[in-house]
Structure 1
């Protein structure tokens, strides 16, 4: 990573500082083929284009993130009459974005699909999706719902500040029956054995 300072070609006192990664190649040439400006009325009234050769294929030097890009905008915007392109005023001059009419293309060619990706980009998007995902509460089973209701209905706090909750009992099970008398007899017999 390196620190990058970008200045306007019209005003060298306007400088943007940012950090950047150095890559061997960012993308293929953009646009993929040259196009004529003769039918593009939009750029006729704009002076100080940030890239006067925007209609000719060229390599991409820098890709700016939205945090930097949004600071470049000056708020002026002009759309062409067809709605295909828009010009945005930036501190570097006017930039033109959008689509161009395929009929204005200088070379006819087949459709070319180009995909540019980075392994870190996939991981970053996955992490972004996980952070932005709404955390849904898991659905509770009927017994879990009953336990939660029991907890909420029996929760109290004593004078010492301790929380008290009654133990939940499952009343759907059959009762144990009359086992107290049998248990007492066994306890007494064990006590007699220890005494002797």
Structure 2
């Protein structure tokens, strides 16, 4: 079932999604069509398709297409609101929720660009983490060993990590 069965006709907009939350809507699952720039990406609301279609040499026409399917609208909306952090006011805060809200109220500032800056709250009882350091180091060495055996995978990993670092340099 299409969420908008009349997607090809101009009509009233029902919802706009801010660019700031776009990446929160993306899920694991992406397919690139072979020999094409078409990409299928799984989202919280279903699959989206993007990319460009090759133009015919004789016709220079821009083509736009939007297709979305929703199996259970109520479930999709609940998922959307959970991503947005909506909380039913009838649900009482836990002690941890109250501590986070209190932390936010006392630590929020705005920088010169107008962005909000808040220090991350920390848990008081860090013993809940357990002894994960040894396991993390062991996994790191296993990864290094695996990457040492596969040069192509190693190069992809380095490229990914460099891109990841560059995305967070502005923070």
TM-score range, shorter chain: under 0.3
Q: Which has the higher helix share?
A: 2
Considering fraction of residues, name the structure with more strand.
1
The structure having more radius of gyration, on CA atoms, is: 1
